[in-house]
Amino acid sequence: MQCGHECWDWIADAVNPGLVLLALAALGLSRAAKIYGRSPWAAVCAAGVAAVYTLRWLDSAFSIWSGWGGDYSSHTAFAVAIALGLAVLGPRWAMAVSGMLASYGVLMLYQGYHTWLDILSSGVPIALVVGVAHRIATRRRHAASASQR
């Protein structure tokens, strides 16, 4: 069976909903709730998603990406936000979502949706926000644990 343009398009469209379902399952069913804590882990994802749509709004208002010939990829940014939220759960999660993000990038290139520059310039700022949010959440969790001792 060959996968034509429509098939690849369907797969690309399924990535973000699939990541959300995976994140919800990980949050509710795995050791994530016990190891990382529900609210800090959710806050990391929420910070990433908030950054996605803040950047999207800024791009719409000020034509940031089109000003240099680029195209903000909110789909990529959203995938990065959720995938990196999952990656904080441990090395196995990080490896799995890294492979998924790389495959998603290749698929977006293959389908002609975006260039590597679009993909990287949309994903890197979100990765930075998620990294900062994770660091803040981790510090708060460690401070709370230390004060309980």
Do 44 and 134 form a contact (C-beta atoms < 8 A)? yes
pTM listed for this prediction: 0.87
d(CA 68, CA 119): 14
Residue 145 has pLDDT above 80, yes or no: no
pLDDT confidence of residue 3: 78
pLDDT confidence of residue 121: 97
d(CA 37, CA 31): 9
d(CA 53, CA 78): 9
**pLDDT confidence tier of residue 27, bands split at 50, 70 and 90:** confident
Residue 132 has pLDDT above 70, yes or no: yes
Q: How many CA atoms lie within 13 A of 141 on its CB side?
A: 17
Find where tokens 């290139």 sit: 109
Amino acid identity at 71: D
Higher pLDDT, 27 or 75: 75
**pLDDT confidence tier of residue 75, bands split at 50, 70 and 90:** very high
Q: What is the pLDDT of residues 96-122, one digit of tens each?
A: 999 999 999 999 999 999 999 999 999
Tokens in use for 32? Answer: 């994530």
Higher pLDDT, 1 or 146: 146
Q: Strand, helix or coil at 51?
A: helix
